[in-house]
Structure 1
Amino acid sequence: MKALKVMATINEEGQLTLDHPLTIDKNSRVEVIVLIPDEETPDETSQTEVLADFRQAWQEAMTGQTIPVAQLWEGLKDD
Structure 2
Amino acid sequence: MKAIEVTGKIDAEGNLLLDQPIQGTTYADQVRVIVLVPEQIELRAFDPKDTPIEEIKTNLRIALQKAQAGQGKPISELWDRIDAE
TM-score for both structures, normalised by structure 1: 0.48
Higher helix share: 1
TM-score for both structures, normalised by structure 2: 0.45
